[in-house]
């Protein structure tokens, strides 16, 4: 699991796999708890499509609902299941 996280972090990408017929999103900037902007909204939409982000609306703020959804996604896809954004990338997107 740690090796997968290191690969994703080393190249600065997080690939989120969508249902058949969809595309994989690539984020090349680092963002995490407290971040704002269109990348956060895009991440929330992707996580919502997958059933991980269940907040009542899409926002541009990376708060606890986004962090929790991302961590559940990362663990469910065997990317990383523990640590912190600084040590393993758990709950963070990007390099």
pLDDT in tens, 13-41: 444 444 444 446 778 889 999 999 999 99
Is 60 exceeded by the pLDDT of residue 9?
no
Buried/exposed 26-44: b ≥16 CB within 10 Å, e otherwise:
ebeeebbeebeeebbbebb
Residue 45: per-residue pLDDT: 95
Residue 24: per-residue pLDDT: 61
Residue 29: per-residue pLDDT: 87
Full-model pTM: 0.74
Q: Is the CB of residue 93 less than 8 Å from the CB of residue 31?
A: yes
Provide, rounded to the nearest whole percent, the portion of the chain with pLDDT above 90.
Answer: 61
Q: Is the CB of residue 72 less than 8 Å from the CB of residue 64?
A: no
């Amino acid at each position: 699991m740690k090796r997968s996280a290191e690969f994703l972090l080393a190249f600065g990408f997080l690939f989120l796999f969508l249902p058949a017929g969809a595309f994989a999103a690539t984020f090349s900037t680092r963002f995490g708890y407290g971040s704002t902007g269109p990348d956060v909204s895009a991440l929330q939409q992707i996580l919502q499509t997958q059933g991980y982000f269940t907040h009542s609306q899409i926002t541009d703020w990376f708060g606890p609902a986004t962090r929790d959804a991302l961590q559940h996604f990362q663990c469910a896809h065997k990317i990383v299941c523990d640590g912190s954004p600084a040590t393993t990338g758990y709950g963070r997107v990007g390099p």
